[in-house]
Amino acid sequence: MAVMAILLVGLLVLVLLVHLVEATTYDIMATYLDTNCSSTEPYIVYARQNGGCTDGVCYTYLVDNRAYAVDERASTDCSEEDYLRVMREFYNNSPYIIHELYSDDDCSTFEYAVGFLATNTCLGGNQSAGLYYESSLNPDGSATVIPYFINAGSTETMEGDSSCSSASAGVVAADKEVLANHSCVHLGEISLLYDFFTTDSANTVSSYRWYSSNDPDISSQSGLVGSTSSYDSSSGSIATENRSSSLSSGALAGIIVAAVIIVIAIIFAICFCKRRSQAMRADERFTRTTSPISRDTVSGQRGLWNDEVITAKRIPRNKVKVKKLLSRGAFGEVYSGVFYQRRVAVKMLPSSTRTSLQHVNAFLTEAKITATMDHPHIVPFIGVAWDSLSDLCVALEFMEGGDLRALLNKYEASNHHVGFDRQKTAIALHVCHALAYLHSLASPIIHRDLKSKNILLNGAMEAKLSDFGISRQRLDETMTAGVGTSLWMAPEVMLGERYDEKADMFSFGVVLSELDVHTLPYAQARKRSRESEGRELTDPSLLQRVATGEIRVEFSYFSPRSIVNLGHACVSVDPGDRPTAAEALYRLQLALAKELV
């Protein structure tokens, strides 16, 4: 049996080595013209193979210790799979053109690929010497990329023309047939665009293909070097060529030798482990009565890594592709990302705390709480992934509508009418549904940090509750310790008194006020203080007055009285005077049915 197991392991190793020899690593780098990689899609996405790739998110991109563009940032994705799919994912839903270049005449030896944002506007390096271009998908089905260069005579001194003037233009175009069929085009004269991207390459570009966001079925398109049609620009003919890769005899012999060595190593390891196991059993008999270390202590040192909820929700880390930074706070960072072609939000610890076991365990605690939630108005948990402490992350459903606070800021800036309409009331209803769910669990969960920033919206403006970083199950009748965000905090929490689910209802009343008047909580109270007392109302003074009921959040005259009354009840100083989530839910449903028809 042992020999059979060893042979099976050897066979498995052989298969693995074959896979490793065949695998090609692609370095896909997206470059952005803003400092946080979030305001636009990347203006250039560049792919090459075996480039010594290292994953990175929104880092300063330097070439020879200088940036191609002012404030240029880059994100890098290392892939052993389909580089074309990864390039497409960087562009999300924006129009793009991808140009694949090859160093032979039949598009079989991949050199690199470049993606261009097809906005038909001059894009480039923030008034620096970087690349400038215009790219467009034309109504007739063709595509055009127009690079603008000065000092075009030498690749060492090529610089982009920030004016995008016609005098410095060079046109690279694909007709409808070539673009739609991804035809292999034999290149005649090398253009300035190719020179710009091949200054670090010893090879010459001889052929190319095009892809675009107009491709009808992008999921079936492969970015792995293989077979497609070929187009000769001189004759206009299209031919099809199938190519398959195979291992050379030398490579195969190397694999077999390596497999034999590994099998021998496995046999040695089995013998070693058997002897070590016998020694450990003897040692255990000796130390069983003298060692004070318990299994609970060891489990505590491991933290939550082996928790059954965490392990059940663990997903492969290499399948979670981190893209653009969306937000950054003291306790976490959120990026847009992709997991098996599904757009996700990726939450990670800040780089300064990723190696802290205390922070990691707190992060995993939040992951565990979120993973156990199952409600349509709580952001769905997709999985937790890690290969090491430093790359621990959580994947959540991507909420394309952003957070409620951002929406209300836009409303305030655009003088959007105040008061409750059906959409605002529906958002409040969704949040109340989530609270009613949390508070009705067998072990009720108190969110403890309910605020507009932690309410996310999808494309249909459906609200979902997020960020359970300081949530706790109510193990006792009440809890202590003031946590949460101060402007939304209930008086009993501010004062360090015992509290329960009604603390969340106070925060919900503050959110109702935000939905009504759009401003941050107590903005009018601060304004009145400036006008009457001639000075700013400090946070401690404000919170003291909130705790005593002297100041409370504002509501407008344009909202239904039933919702205003509900808001006032929620922010009662006495928790006993506040409604439960179920009661608030009922009152909102009545308002939506009778007063906001």
Which residues have a catalytic role annotated? 449
Contacts of 490 (CB under 8 A, 6+ apart): 499, 502, 503, 506, 507, 575
Residue 364 CA from chain centroid, whole number? 18
The Cα 405–Cα 467 span in angstroms is 14
Contacts of 67 (CB under 8 A, 6+ apart): 60, 61, 128, 130
The Cα 592–Cα 256 span in angstroms is 72
**Is the distance from CB of 582 to CB of 440 less than 8 angstroms?**
yes
The Cα 348–Cα 207 span in angstroms is 42
**Which of 223, 226, 205 lies closest to 90 in space, CA to CA?**
223
**Which of 304, 313, 307, 321 lies closest to 360 in space, CA to CA?**
304
Buried b (16+ CB within 10 A) or exposed e, 233-272: eeeeeeeeeeeeeeeeeeeeeebeeebeebbeebeeeeee
The Cα 556–Cα 419 span in angstroms is 6
Q: Which residue has the tokens 């896979």?
A: 19
Tell me the β-bridge partners of 116. 44, 97
| Strand, coil or helix: 385 | strand
The Cα 301–Cα 537 span in angstroms is 46
Cβ–Cβ contacts within 10 Å for residue 155, how many?
15
| Three-state SS annotation for 22-61 | HCCCEEEEEEECCCCCCCCCCCEEEEEECCCCCCEEEEEC
The Cα 161–Cα 163 span in angstroms is 5
